[in-house]
Amino acid sequence: MNGAYEAAILDLDGTVYLGDGLVPGADESVQRLRDRGAEVLFLTNKAIARRRDYSEKLTGLGIETAESDVINSGWVTAQYLKKNHPTAEAFVVGETPLLEEFHDAGLSTTTERPGDLVVASMDRQFDYEALELALETLDGGAPFVATNPDRTCPIEGGAIPDAAGMIGAIEGVTGQTVDEILGKPSPTMVETALDKVGVEPESCLMIGDRIETDIKMGKRAGMTTVLVLSGVTDREILQESEISPDYVLESLADIDEVLQER
């Protein structure tokens, strides 16, 4: 179709699925995008799983997905450290999948002693000892990076704390603000995603449930932004936000409202 979107970048939690359950109609909408010739890329800020884990989950939910069709903040952070701090030992506040991502990139990590820099991410085992080691690491002004800025992660029936809790705790005791956040809405994340789909921003959809990450990133890059209300954002939050998406849908199932205008 002439003028059709050439690519669509989709958030996962709250957009395609909630917890272990598919958002009703999401699988059919992804297929419609693909049938219209759009390259579909899944982009998530969660670093508590590997890209292959997300591809396997999506495939199991009926959305055939290759590992290369998924980018997450853990992988992007590993590539950033490999380029900018290749010999540093990172003290990591994060879970096993993030550590595995770093090791696959040839990076050194520690969780039991101070390192050369701090990486903060969602960590459901975060404790006082980790906070103390982060304080020791940053005492000399070491770099402080984070995988993503999300306050919460949507799940079926509610939400759970995300990386912002760990970042805030470390900032609070050290007085040092995080230097670099690699996940959405960072320029690094959007550049990585656009390089992967290989299209100009104006030919790409950005679809997500979070205004301050998904929609902010998409608008800043010049993509057509689509907010879905199936995750963390409701109409009251939308009304109070200074960021205005191009489209607002109840869920991904309503994607035809966007596609029929192109």
Does 11 qualify as catalytic in the annotation? yes
Any idea what DSSP says for residue 212? I
- Alpha-carbon torsion, ordered 181, 26, 233, 154, to 10 deg: -60
Query: DSSP letter string over 25-82?
Result: THHHHHHHHHHTT-EEEEEE---SS-HHHHHHHHHHTT----GGGEEEHHHHHHHHHH
Q: Tokens 């980790």 map to which residue?
A: 130
Does 13 qualify as catalytic in the annotation? yes
Ordered strands of the 144-146 beta sheet:
108-110, 89-93, 117-120, 144-146, 180-181
Q: Annotated catalytic residue: which of 11, 69, 162, 214?
A: 11
Query: In terms of C-beta density within 10 A (0-12 exposed, 13-18 middle, 19 or more buried), how is residue 50 classed?
Result: buried
Q: Are strands 152-155 and 158-161 parallel, antiparallel or unpaired?
A: antiparallel
Query: DSSP letter string over 80-147?
Result: HHHHH-TTPEEEEES-HHHHHHHHHTT-EEESSS--SEEEE---TT--HHHHHHHHHHHTTT--EEES
**Any residues with CB less than 8 A from the CB of 32 and at least 6 apart, and which?**
255, 256, 259
Q: Which residues are catalytic?
A: 11, 13
